[in-house]
């Protein structure tokens, strides 16, 4: 921003313009984001502007400028010049908008690395019922989320994949604004979500990006039209910023895999890396790997074959070790376990991802407020999938918690009640209620046709 722009910036007129439905100028957007980041625009003024944006929306031009201003609020990494053995090593990034039981990153980063690309993946922590990849990986003894940028480059050259926390200097405007949106009812705005995600991804400095936009009860976007609009907005923002971006829309009405939590999801990811594990989780991982490899210009390697051969497991072990973790150490075990059983015979016709996510959260897998410690052992391990026939008394799920005493009893009681609502067993001869509709990969949005 020019000195004249800074001096002439009047937050109230910008708020009023958006309140009255006018399009903001690029200069107004740059000035507001710069002033807010540096503390010259008050929290209540940005809160009012965010609510005006939430209610009035933003044009494509405004969203592009808002995103650029947030990207420019901090440092930019650059991984487009990586080399290994004298050859260019293409860097490709992935982002999921967040779901329940979504351990995909833990398998996908090493899988894509094993196929010949580099994956610099800055990840987040969970808030509310959706888990965070860093919280899951921290269940591995010794593993550390903090990696300095120069060490990131070293790890990428050596093992090809790094999953770590974003530094404080990456898109600081978003860090501050996200916390404000969280407490002002302004999270669920498509331009604000798109700008928030894409400003960070553009600043991360990969050569290409693949988005997994989750749709359904356990996701941010519960319906397909809004999820598609979010995906299209982000793909466009990527293209405008010189970051080729494709998006898959994938269902989040039911959890991915059987495990929902931290250590339990790492155990499930390791099963997939060993060539087994739940088919939905392995399938989505391979589908996203195909997209990422195509984006990196690698079309002669079949990630399904690399996964089956154990090649991704070797990359996973190197990735964990590079960040101080011991891939052979036992994962922490729960202090208390409780089994939820079927009340009668029937067919499993619904597993509500939101309910299962909430149950895991109640057991201690997630946070009530930002910054809280999570319980690495807390979580839910489902014993059944959609469509399974069950008999009376059959195990439907096992709850895990690291809590003890009254705390454990209260957590288990609340989580059991939540799970009983989430799991529907329809007795024989009875018509099932409305079941899940958002399952598997629902659509793909990107410049080129599917690889
Ligand atoms: N994830 C983000 O990083 N930002 C949002 O606004 C929503 C989800
Ligand atoms: Ca899972």
Q: What is the tens place of the pLDDT at every residue in 404-414? A: 999 999 999 99
**pLDDT at residue 450 is higher than 50:** no
Judge if pTM exceeds 0.85. yes
Q: Is 129 a catalytic residue?
A: no
Place of tokens 């939820």: 340
Residue 128, phi then psi, degrees to nearest 5: 70, -145
Quick one: 313 exposed, middle or buried, by C-beta within 10 A (0-12, 13-18, 19+)? buried
Q: Over pLDDT 90: what percentage of the chain?
A: 87
Report which of 79, 15, 70, 71 is spatially closest to residue 44, judged by C-alpha positions. Answer: 15
pLDDT digits (tens, 9 = 90+) for 257-278: 999 999 999 999 999 999 999 9
Distance 87 CA to ligand 1 centre (A): 35
Distance 348 CA to ligand 2 centre (A): 18
Distance 97 CA to ligand 1 centre (A): 7
Ligand 1 pocket, 186 CB below 6 A?
no
Mean pLDDT of 427-435: 90
Ligand 1 pocket, 197 CB below 6 A?
yes
Q: Which H/E stretch holds residue 143?
A: none
Mean pLDDT of 47-68: 98
Cβ(425)–Cβ(347) under 8 Å? yes
Q: Is 73 a catalytic residue?
A: no
Q: Over pLDDT 70: what percentage of the chain?
A: 97
Report which of 249, 221, 232 is spatially closest to residue 130, judged by C-alpha positions. Answer: 221
Per-residue confidence (pLDDT) for residue 8, from 0 to 100: 77
Distance 263 CA to ligand 2 centre (A): 11
Mean pLDDT of 96-114: 96
Ligand 1 pocket, 195 CB below 6 A?
no
* Ligand 1, atom nearest to 192 Cα: 6
* Ligand 1, atom nearest to 197 Cα: 3
* Ligand 1, atom nearest to 196 Cα: 4
Mean pLDDT of 38-52: 97
Q: How far apart are CA 285 and CA 73, in angstroms?
A: 33
* Ligand 1, atom nearest to 200 Cα: 3
pLDDT digits (tens, 9 = 90+) for 364-383: 998 887 778 899 999 999 99
Residue that wins the pLDDT comparison between 304 and 1 = 304
- CA angle, residues 29, 35, 41, in degrees to nearest 5: 105
Catalytic residue among 56, 95, 129, 240: 95
Helix (H, G, I), strand (E, B) or coil at 346: strand
* Ligand 1, atom nearest to 193 Cα: 6
Ligand number nearest CA of 191 is 1
Average predicted confidence (pLDDT) for the chain: 94
Count Cα atoms within 13 angstroms, Cβ side, for 393. 0
Ligand 1 pocket, 193 CB below 6 A?
yes
Per-residue confidence (pLDDT) for residue 7, from 0 to 100: 60
Mean pLDDT of 120-137: 86
Q: Which H/E stretch holds residue 412?
A: helix 405-422
**pLDDT band at residue 41 under the 50/70/90 scheme:** very high
Q: Is 196 a catalytic residue?
A: yes
Distances 29 to 13, 18, 175, 232, 247 between C-alpha atoms, Å: 12, 11, 17, 22, 27
The stretches of 276-352 forming alpha helices (DSSP H) are 279-295, 303-309, 311-322
Per-residue confidence (pLDDT) for residue 430, from 0 to 100: 92
Place of tokens 């991360």: 204
Please name the residues in contact with 16: beta carbons below 8 A apart, sequence gap of 6 or more: none
Q: How far apart are CA 29 and CA 62, in angstroms?
A: 8
**pLDDT at residue 183 is higher than 90:** no
Ligand number nearest CA of 277 is 2
Catalytic residue among 18, 56, 136, 200: 200
Distance 400 CA to ligand 2 centre (A): 14
Residue 408, phi then psi, degrees to nearest 5: -65, -45
Mean pLDDT of 139-161: 94
- CA angle, residues 436, 265, 156, in degrees to nearest 5: 115
**pLDDT band at residue 427 under the 50/70/90 scheme:** very high
Catalytic residue among 125, 181, 317, 358: 181
Q: Is 400 a catalytic residue?
A: no
Q: Whose CA is nearest to atom 6 of ligand 1?
A: 193
Distance 269 CA to ligand 2 centre (A): 8
Strands (E) located in 179-301: 208-215, 245-251, 259-261
Q: Whose CA is nearest to atom 2 of ligand 1?
A: 197
Per-residue confidence (pLDDT) for residue 16, from 0 to 100: 98
Distance 98 CA to ligand 1 centre (A): 9
**pLDDT at residue 107 is higher than 50:** yes
The Cα diameter of the chain in Å comes to 75
Mean pLDDT of 221-246: 97
Q: How far apart are CA 407 and CA 335, in angstroms?
A: 12
Distances 100 to 103, 191, 233, 289, 416 between C-alpha atoms, Å: 9, 24, 24, 20, 17
Mutational test site, ligand 1, from 196, 202, 204, 218, max ligand atoms within 8 Å of CB: 196
Catalytic residue among 196, 199, 250, 416: 196
pLDDT digits (tens, 9 = 90+) for 300-350: 999 999 999 999 999 999 999 999 999 999 999 999 999 999 999 999 999
Mutational test site, ligand 1, from 173, 181, 193, 252, max ligand atoms within 8 Å of CB: 193
Ligand number nearest CA of 122 is 1
């Amino acid at each position: 921003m020019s000195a004249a722009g800074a001096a002439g910036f009047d937050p109230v007129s910008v708020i009023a313009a958006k309140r009255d439905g006018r399009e903001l100028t690029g200069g107004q957007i740059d000035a507001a984001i710069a002033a807010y980041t540096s503390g010259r625009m008050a929290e209540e003024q940005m809160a009012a502007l965010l609510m005006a944006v939430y209610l009035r929306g933003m044009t494509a031009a405004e969203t592009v400028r808002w995103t650029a201003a947030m990207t420019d609020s901090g440092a930019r990494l650059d991984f487009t010049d990586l080399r290994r053995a004298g050859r260019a090593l293409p860097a490709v990034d992935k982002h999921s908008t967040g779901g329940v039981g979504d351990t995909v990153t833990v398998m996908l980063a090493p899988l894509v690395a094993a196929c010949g690309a580099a994956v610099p993946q800055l990840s987040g922590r969970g808030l509310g019922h959706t888990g965070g990849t860093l919280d899951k990986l921290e269940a591995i003894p010794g593993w550390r989320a903090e990696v300095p940028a120069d060490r990131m480059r070293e790890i990428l050259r050596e093992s090809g994949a790094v999953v770590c926390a974003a530094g404080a200097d990456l898109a600081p405007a978003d860090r501050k604004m996200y916390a404000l949106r969280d407490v002002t009812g302004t999270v669920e705005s498509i331009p604000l979500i798109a700008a928030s995600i894409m400003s960070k991804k553009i600043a991360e400095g990969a050569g290409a990006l693949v988005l997994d936009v989750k749709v359904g009860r356990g996701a941010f976007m519960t319906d397909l039209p809004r999820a598609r609009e979010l995906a299209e907005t982000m793909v466009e923002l990527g293209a405008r910023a010189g970051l080729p971006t494709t998006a898959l829309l994938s269902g989040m009405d039911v959890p991915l895999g059987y495990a929902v939590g931290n250590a339990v999801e790492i155990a499930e990811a390791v099963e997939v890396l060993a060539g087994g594990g739940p088919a939905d989780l392995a399938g989505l991982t391979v589908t996203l790997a195909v997209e990422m490899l195509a984006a990196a210009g690698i079309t002669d390697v079949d990630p399904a074959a690399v996964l089956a051969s154990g090649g991704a497991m070797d990359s996973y072990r190197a990735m964990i070790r590079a960040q101080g973790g011991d891939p052979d150490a036992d994962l922490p075990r729960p202090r208390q376990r409780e089994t939820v059983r079927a009340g009668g015979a029937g067919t499993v016709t619904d597993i509500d991802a939101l309910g299962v996510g909430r149950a895991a959260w109640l057991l201690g897998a997630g946070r009530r407020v930002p910054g809280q410690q999570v319980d690495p052992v807390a979580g839910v391990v489902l014993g059944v999938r959609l469509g399974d026939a069950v008999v009376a008394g059959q195990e439907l799920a096992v709850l895990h918690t690291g809590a003890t005493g009254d705390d454990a009893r209260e957590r288990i009681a609340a989580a059991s009640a939540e799970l009983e609502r989430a799991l529907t067993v329809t007795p024989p001869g009875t018509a099932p209620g409305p079941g899940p509709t958002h399952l598997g990969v629902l659509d793909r949005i990107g410049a080129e046709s599917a690889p």
